[in-house]
Amino acid sequence: AGSYGFQAQPMGFPGGYVVPPVQNQPTMDGTIWMPIPPSIPHCPPGLEYLTQIDKILIHQRLELLEIVTDFEVSNKYELKNALGQRVYFAAEDTDCLTRNCCGPSRPFTMRIMDNVGREVITLHRPLRCSTGCWPCCLQELEVQAPPGTTVGYVVQNWHPCLPKFTIQDEKEMDILTITGPCFVSRCCEDINFEVLSMDETCAIGRISKQWTGFVQEAFTDTDNFGVSFPMDLDVKMKAVMIGACFLIVSLSF
């Protein structure tokens, strides 16, 4: 993976001084946030959380209006660590007409905020062809961290039967590849997209759509997803993998 291989991340300030993390405190709705990590040199602000985790769980929030009326509302997600502590909160920024006319092929901006309300990651998906059957106008997603600073891209690759994507750095150099199953609709089991090295010989991580049960699968479009990556993977590539998960969510589920 070149310079985006497994890099140890420093855990404090030069000279050994470490800012004590904020202790866990539940919010008014009972949510427990992950403690705020100390600032890290050369790490995009807000991505310090990602240096401490090797997995992030993405839960789509149920919207009563959408369940009752099938009216497409702006999607919202909670991003949690393996302990169930909220790391980020994501909200889709689209207008009502776009959501209900374009459906899953709609362009969107996804804003990902940390536990002090600071926008730390922004995802931009432009309007593209809604099918991957032809090798033109394929999907692309830009990842910015912080907003305004591009750290990478997720690009859909044409393949006759498999969903495939490439993760690129900010210079559009290919870093990792993602391969999904031929059929993304399965009953009673998780659906996995493998994150591999470019030659597809080394497993780097996984993006999974988790089975949520018959009732939720049948009557709502809310889903749970997981993104796993090496602890020492560069935080920028971790952020791009999170972006890849949101692109896969919008296309396949």
Dist CA 156 CA 138 (whole Å): 6
Q: What is the structure's pLDDT at 29?
A: 62
Q: Are 169 and 189 in contact (CB under 8 A)?
A: no
Indicate left, alpha or beta for 2 from its phi (over 0: left) and psi (-120 to 50: alpha). left
Q: Does the pLDDT of residue 252 top 90, yes or no?
A: no
Helix, strand, coil shares of the chain, percent, nearest 5, are 20, 30, 45
Q: Does the pLDDT of residue 15 top 60, yes or no?
A: no
Domain spans of the chain, in order of start: 48-252
Q: Which fold has domain 48-252?
A: Porin (2.40.160)
Q: Does the pLDDT of residue 169 top 60, yes or no?
A: yes
Q: Does the pLDDT of residue 250 top 50, yes or no?
A: yes
Q: Does the pLDDT of residue 105 top 60, yes or no?
A: yes
Average pLDDT, the chain: 79
Instruction: Read off the pLDDT band of 104 (50, 70, 90).
Output: low
Residues 6+ apart with CB under 8 A from 234: 3, 4, 5, 7
Dist CA 82 CA 65 (whole Å): 30
Q: Are 90 and 112 in contact (CB under 8 A)?
A: yes
CB atoms within 10 A of CB 195: 24
